[in-house]
Amino acid sequence: MSPQERSASSAGEPAVAAVVVLAAGQGTRMRSATPKVLHELGGRSLLGHVLAAAEPLAAGTTIVVVGSGRDQVEAHLAEVAPAALPVVQEEQRGSGHAAVVALDAVPDLEGAVLLVNGDAPLLRPETVTALVAEHARAGNALTVLTAEVEDPTGLGRIVRDASGAVTAIVEERDATPEQRAIREINAGVYVGDAAALRDGLSRIGADNDQGELYVTDVLGLLVADGARVGGTPAEDPDDVLGCNDRRELAARRRTLNDRVLDRLMRDGVTVVDPGTTWVDVTVTVGNDTVLEPGTQLRGATTIASGAVVGPDTTLVDCTVEAGASVVRSHCLEAVIGPEAVVGPFSYLRPGTRLARGSKVGAFVETKNVEVGEGSKVPHLSYVGDATIGLGANIGAATVFVNYDGVTKHRTTIGDHARIGSDSMLVAPVTVGDGAYTAAGSVITKDVPPGAMGVARATQRNVGGWVLRRRPGTPAAEAAAAAERLTDAPENTGAHDDDEGRPSR
């Protein structure tokens, strides 16, 4: 924290009385049915990133000006920032008009107000805090965040006088050729005194190329009044980049992702291929974890130390504990315990909880299941609505038949049980501790502890069938040759032995 930030917050008072996010614009250039500020990057909407950047200010009031797609934006706000107050701008008459509508909703508000465009997803809390601190330190009526950029195309230019003092913000379409050559731009982030803002906004006109009311015009009016106005460059110019079309959205997403990966790598995470690894801002990863290429970590995902994730793995809202590995898999709301092994090609659905050292292998789908310590579901299975004890093994191609077409039912598998390959476990059903099921069984009744559940037809071999019914085929020739060689007696059928194995 800089000395300025410390002094701004040391009083214990909120550094600003209100945060106002301008988010009513149409975002025409997105060419989308979704309002621009709801487009997503790095695990939050554009609007969500802006709100997160302002959050440490702990303002008593947060207003979001909504208009285009207001129902969608309001619903989103109710979810991500229920304390924020949506204020409707019925007609989108410009950013200045949006600011008027916001301040009219809080007529008694006094003190500093942060005004911020809703489409600045790379804005960081430290940048906002520094701007607010500088505004207070300088005793300004209005302070605007600026940046020197390589390509200022389309942005408002910061005009300064010979002494370096900011005198105006000029939109590109209204700028003179000399003004267009300026590379210091308006970030669309302002801190202003509420009274000064109200006064300035009451006097702006729409005498510009778009015929809109520009919030930026307030600055020139306040300068003309002799008020103190400042322009503070952002420490990282990336912070100020807006997002107006899908190309910019992709570019902002890339920058945001690079920032997240930089942070993870500094914290001791190995990122094998930053180019193909995507991590939301909300994710945490412990040190000595390896993220292999093609990994996507989304939402509330948390990964402990010493895990391996990827290649080609997507985790959404998952918890991965220390030393676990998840390879080429897709997992949603799953908890993967310490030292557990998942994949390749596993699909873990919500409610999956894998205990320490358990395993879910290739082509296995799980849902709403607890797999006990050291238990294994190694191959080709569906496991839904079940509790599996410790040290159990679920044979290949087992299906937990949890759905009767109307209702879901649970299956319980005891400790150290052995489920034979290709078992159908028709829920509700319980296989007791240490019990077995025979391969290929359709288990519809509980299997008591230690018992072998067998539920399949007895095998019958029809001797000589191929020679009689498929004469002249390669199979018949092979059978005839085998008979000649071994002179084997014809098989006439067999009985299962008492362990459910067919006799030969």
For the CB of residue 16, give the shortest distance to Ca ion in the complex, in Å: 22
Give strand ranges (E) for 80-208.
85-88, 112-117, 142-148, 157-160, 166-170, 184-193
The CA R_g of the chain, rounded to the nearest whole Å, is 33
**Of 379, 409, 416, 495, catalytic:** 379
For the CB of residue 120, give the shortest distance to Ca ion in the complex, in Å: 8
For the CB of residue 115, give the shortest distance to ligand UD1 in the complex, in Å: 9
For the CB of residue 333, give the shortest distance to ligand UD1 in the complex, in Å: 33
Q: Which residue is nearest to ligand UD1 (CB)?
A: 156
Q: Which residue is nearest to Ca ion (CB)?
A: 242
215 binds, among ligand UD1, Ca ion, none (CB under 5 to 8 A by kind): ligand UD1
Q: CA-to-CA distance for 241 and 244, rounded, in angstroms?
A: 10
Q: CA-to-CA distance for 415 and 433, rounded, in angstroms?
A: 5
| Angle value at C-alpha 421, between 417 and 425, nearest 5 degrees | 65
Whose Cβ is closer to ligand UD1: residue 147's or residue 340's?
147
Residues of this chain that interact with ligand UD1 (CB under 6 A) are 22-25, 65, 67, 89, 92-95, 97-98, 117-119, 155-156, 169, 171, 185-188, 214-216, 242
Whose Cβ is closer to ligand UD1: residue 218's or residue 271's?
218
Which of these segments, 234-242, 288-296, 389-397, 412-420, binds Ca ion (CB under 5 A)? 234-242
For the CB of residue 158, give the shortest distance to ligand UD1 in the complex, in Å: 9
Please tell me whether residue 135 adopts helix, strand or coil conformation: helix
Q: CA-to-CA distance for 49 and 118, rounded, in angstroms?
A: 9
Crossing angle for the helix pair 217-224 and 194-201, to the nearest 10 degrees: 100
Whose Cβ is closer to ligand UD1: residue 34's or residue 92's?
92
Q: CA-to-CA distance for 153 and 181, rounded, in angstroms?
A: 10
Whose Cβ is closer to ligand UD1: residue 215's or residue 316's?
215
Is 416 assigned a catalytic role? no
**Residue 86 in the binding site for Ca ion (CB under 5 A):** no
Q: CA-to-CA distance for 249 and 243, rounded, in angstroms?
A: 6
Other residues' Cβ atoms within 10 Å of the Cβ of residue 497: 9
Q: Are 438 and 452 in contact (CB under 8 A)?
A: yes
Whose Cβ is closer to ligand UD1: residue 20's or residue 308's?
20
DSSP assignment of 237-298 equals GGGG----SHHHHHHHHHHHHHHHHHHHHHTT-EES-GGG-EE-TT-EE-TT-EE-TTEEEE
- Give the contact letters, 240-279, x = binds to Ca ion (CB under 5 A), - = no: --x-------------------------------------
For the CB of residue 208, give the shortest distance to ligand UD1 in the complex, in Å: 8
List of residues 6+ apart from 174 with CB closer than 8 A: 208, 209
List of residues 6+ apart from 329 with CB closer than 8 A: 313, 314, 342, 343, 344, 345, 346, 347, 348
For the CB of residue 98, give the shortest distance to ligand UD1 in the complex, in Å: 3
- Give φ, ψ of 138 to 5 degrees: -80, -10
Whose Cβ is closer to ligand UD1: residue 27's or residue 310's?
27
Whose Cβ is closer to ligand UD1: residue 179's or residue 421's?
179
Binding site for Ca ion (CB under 5 A): 119, 242
Positions marked catalytic:
379
